Amino acid sequence: MKTNIVSTATGKANVSALFFVKKSVQFSNVLSENAEKQVESVLNGMEDGPFEDLELLEIDGQSTLFVNAAKERGISSLDHLRMAAYRLAKRASKRQIPMVSMMLADAAPEQFKSILHGLHYADYKFDAYKSKQKDAFQVTFEIVAGEHTAEFKKIAEEAAIENKAIVLAKNLINTSSSDLTPAEFVENANTIAKYTPGLSIKVRNMKQLEKEGFMGLVTVGKGSSHEPYMITLSYDGSKGSKNVAKNAKKNARTSADHLVFVGKGLTFDTGGLCLKPPKSMPEMISDMSGAATVLAAIQAIATLELPIKVSAVCCLAENAIGNKSVLPGDIFTAKNGKTVMVDNTDAEGRLVLSDGLAEAGIIGATHIVDLATLTGAMVRALGYAVAGFFSNDDDLALKVINCGEACCEKFWSMPLEEEYADALKDHFADLKNTGSDAGAIAAALFLQEFVPEDTAWAHWDIAGTAFVNKTWKYTEYGATGFGVQSLIELARRMSGVAHEDAANEDTDGEYVAVEA
Q: Which residues are tagged catalytic?
A: 276, 350
Side chain identity at residue 485, one-letter code: Q
Work out the number of other CB atoms within 10 angstroms of the CB of residue 24: 14
Q: Identify the three-state secondary structure at position 69.
A: coil
Side chain identity at residue 407, one-letter code: C
What's the half-sphere exposure (Cβ side, CA atoms, 13 Å) at 299? 26
- Kindly report the length of the chain: 516
Instruction: Give the C-alpha separation, 71 to 85, whole Å.
Output: 12
241-260 burial: b if 16+ Cβ within 10 Å, else e: eeebeebbeeebeebebbbb
Side chain identity at residue 196, one-letter code: T
Q: What are phi and psi of 127, to 5 degrees?
A: -125, 25
Paired strand residues for 432: 341
The angle subtended at Cα 310 by Cα 413 and Cα 114, nearest 5°, is 60
Side chain identity at residue 514, one-letter code: V
Closest-CA residue to 356 (of 187, 456, 216): 216
The angle subtended at Cα 402 by Cα 512 and Cα 266, nearest 5°, is 120
The percent of the chain in helix, strand and coil, each rounded to the nearest 5, is 40, 20, 40
Q: What are phi and psi of 277, to 5 degrees?
A: -65, 150
Instruction: Give the C-alpha separation, 38 to 291, whole Å.
Output: 52
Instruction: Give the C-alpha separation, 474 to 497, whole Å.
Output: 28
DSSP, residue by residue, 333-386: E-TTS-EEE-S-TT--HHHHHHHHHHHHHHTT-SEEEEEE---HHHHHHHTTTE
Closest-CA residue to 125 (of 173, 157, 167, 177): 167
Instruction: Give the C-alpha separation, 314 to 292, whole Å.
Output: 8
Instruction: Give the C-alpha separation, 456 to 17, whole Å.
Output: 45
Instruction: Give the C-alpha separation, 180 to 432, whole Å.
Output: 30
Burial bucket for residue 469 (CB in 10 Å: 0-12, 13-18, 19+):
exposed
Biggest alpha carbon–alpha carbon distance for the chain: 82
